[in-house]
Structure 1
């Protein structure tokens, strides 16, 4: 059975932390994962049969009314290929709309650009690096 929970503040979504550590720190080699946005962000957890297998977050973009920043979308390796990432993105988009959001901005790892394009996002700037990893800014109107 599939369930989605969205709560504000990382302390209210403690199962998101180990997923992000596993994927971004251990698997992808980032050295910093958690930041000052954690407590104001809305954190999503996707559960399969009671196990937390995917996460993502959403927070208002500073200085841009109605625009939200989506990020930290991650699916544990054994659960990839099941369209769970799409479900995370769509649920976060829905949450943004419920809060009056008119658009979403994200910095996609370049290898995930096609994934986001298939969900209606388009590039809106030049490639930049977050630590060692190339990212591309992308956006979508809601």
Structure 2
């Protein structure tokens, strides 16, 4: 894990296409969807974090601004299959939280797939909704306040 670097990626960065591919492979393809059918223009408004190892993106997430000045939404968290269960997701979330707290955000929300709910529970997120369907699969809203 020491060789993995977490860095901010802009939409015009060379790594953005790899982030797109990872999101497609991990988040959309398994449920029969494609990012090609989605409006990605909002990506430019997000803080995009990429986990990079040997010039390859192995994980990513996006920090999306909300209408509330002190709140952000984490979205599009993806970790390459070969890196799942090895702490990379926790590493990305820790960096996203630290970035948010440093930038005067006090409240993080996310829509977690029900299958990922235990992961976010371990990171101190609390479920604040009933189960709902998003992109055809069950999700819940989870939230965390700045300590």
Relative to the length of structure 2, the TM-score reads: 0.87
**Cα distance in structure 2, aligned partners of 1:51 and 1:65:** 33
Matched positions, count: 140
Counterpart among 25, 31, 36 of residue 28 in structure 2: 25
* Higher-helix-fraction structure: 2
For residues 30-67 of structure 1, the C-alpha deviation after alignment (integer angstroms, 9 at most, x for no partner) is: 345554421100111101233210000002112x1200
Give yes or no for the alignment of 1:73 onto 2:74.
no
How far does residue 93 in structure 1 lie from its aligned partner after superposition?
0.8
**Residue range with higher mean Cα deviation, 14-23 or 29-38:** 29-38
- Give secondary structure in 2 for the equivalent of 1:65: coil
Cα distance, 1:88–1:76 mapped onto 2, change above 3 Å: same
How far does residue 11 in structure 1 lie from its aligned partner after superposition?
3.3
For residues 57-80 of structure 1, the C-alpha deviation after alignment (integer angstroms, 9 at most, x for no partner) is: 002112x12000001111010111
Give yes or no for the alignment of 1:97 onto 2:101.
yes
- Give secondary structure in 1 for the equivalent of 2:109: strand
- The residue correspondences of 1:1-142 to structure 2 (distance < 5 A) are 1-7=3-9, 9-12=10-13, 13-32=16-35, 35-62=40-67, 64-142=68-146
**Cα distance in structure 1, aligned partners of 2:101 and 2:41:** 23
Relative to the length of structure 1, the TM-score reads: 0.90
**Cα distance in structure 2, aligned partners of 1:29 and 1:131:** 10
Given that residues 70 and 105 in structure 1 are in contact (C-alpha distance below 8 angstroms), is that contact kept between their aligned partners in structure 2? Answer: yes
Given that residues 10 and 41 in structure 1 are in contact (C-alpha distance below 8 angstroms), is that contact kept between their aligned partners in structure 2? Answer: no
